[in-house]
Structure 1
Amino acid sequence: MVDNFKRHRRLRTTAAMRNLVRETSLEVNDFIYPIFVVEGENIKKEVSSMPGVYHYSLDRLEEEIEEIAGLGLQSIILFGVPNQKDECGSEAFNDEGIVQKATRKVKQWAPHLVTIADTCLCQYTDHGHCGMIHGDYVDNDSSLELLVKTAVSQAKAGADVIAPSNMMDGFVAAIRAGLDEAGLTNVPIMSYAVKYASQFYGPFRDAAHSTPQFGDRKTYQMDPANRREAMREAASDVEEGADILIVKPAMAFMDIIREVKDNFDLPVCSYNVSGEYSMIKAAAQRGWVDEKAITLEMLTGLKRAGSDMIITYSSKDAARWLRQLD
């Protein structure tokens, strides 16, 4: 028999050989862990649609931070769930708001931990939208003023990174100017540059109590069918001063992650969102998939697609599993 074909399998013969030629590596430092903080006392309550994810009151938050640090994770992103909501989301920019208080606590307990503040209004408004409502429309420019106030308040509380997720036009430029004017020039902006109006967000809205009370978010979040528009959105944020670009969701948008990575020289973050997380959890609970294997495969895929970092609710699990692999 003439050997006139390629022997690709030669480099797959053993685990050691496969490790030697592996092109993409997954590390604990790649992960950013989302945390939901709530008002009240002695609260550690599991989110019903997100197994393993909890609401924490400030007096129970320290134990979570200690566990995160003990696993070697170096980054978190904070989401606040306030008791009081109003039409303009004033608790978002309250210097004594839940995220501001949580940020100060985290920086006290674990100053080395990169603490990212999600900067949006949807959890704080009584209508559940990400900006000011004029009639039945989310007004862009008046929303920017409130988002700037929120970002400045969060940064003054000690947030290492501001992550605006509202998808208002011009939000990066407005927040960059606001931070600079407040003397916070060294605080980077991790922009939700490409955020689609996705059905994968359902469990998050359960966790953040942020379901819109009317309509949807399709007038400001992107149409999932669009690719070229994503490049325009990312380009605008780069021009306006973003330091990191987020693509959200992740699994159904790996092509977008790759294209953003190839077209822009900023770090790229993918957000492995709640619906993606909960689908795997639900399938694993039924014995349909191996949770460890499929989660690590998915996260590796996101890294291979171009993600420099990944926001994922699987951060703690993945950190444990990677330690076992070591």
Structure 2
Amino acid sequence: MATLKHINSKNADYGAAEQYLLFEHDEFTMKPVLDETGRLIPREDYRLSTLNCDGEDFAVACMRANLRYQKNQRREDVKSHHYIISFDPRDGPDNGLTVDRAQALGEQFCKEHFPGHQALVCTHPDGHNHSGNIHVHIVINSLRIEEVPFLPYMDRPADTKVGCKHRCTDAALRYFKSEVMEMCHREGLYQIDLLNGSKNRVTDREYWAQKSEKARAAYRQAHESDFIIADAAARYFKAHGITKLPARKALQAEIEQLISEKDGLYNTYHEQKQRFKELQTVKRNIDQILRRDEPHRRKEQSHER
């Protein structure tokens, strides 16, 4: 099953993140593994790309942006955010997941959820202790260098502004987990309920493969329509003569509730689908019995005549 992990870093050396991705590290101590001559050991296989760096090295691009906007200059500032999407080890043999495909999914996830941020996206083919799980690292500069649309996990106007910083709130992390689940379901990969601890640890792959695209799109649309963008709402209320805006805490609580309701439906729909399949099996068995008995009944009726 895919999982999502988040780590924030106050390390001003952005090159350290890239070094971790490109060279072998001890997964417990996070220190680089050296060969007998004391040199770093390159990882055997990986895919690496940068986003919004304008052809520059990731570390250089991040430091230039920080200087331009005078951000991330203090020791206590969060300089970068590190998200890790780890896929189920069985997704390779069972579902055709490759390093290249995982890299493409990671790049798309980064573009959709962290627009306007300089980013590194790197996929490794194996996890800790050679567990065989392909995983994607997404490292973003905490500073935003472009103005972006108001996304569902955001809760204040500054979250869209150029020169402001990314915040991984509890609600945001919950939303990202929800989106990882949606991605795996869409791609036919193994997945569990990351939000509620599903008893059925692995979602029925056949169910998700057969799930109607129309129903998924309608559900997502209904979910997103309940997210109220603060500045757009303010303009709407002003245009319609409404003077009192709803409290942001209430809006945030509603967002979290909607996300919970969305993911709660996964298990309910799954149970109904399983029940439907059982009833179909029973019906087929009855039909077969009736078809077998039909010639016998006709023969008996002909003798009675």
TM-score by length of 1: 0.23
Q: Please identify which structure carries the higher helix content.
A: 2
Q: Please identify which structure carries the higher strand content.
A: 1
Kindly name which structure, 1 or 2, has the bigger radius of gyration based on alpha carbons. 2
TM-score by length of 2: 0.24
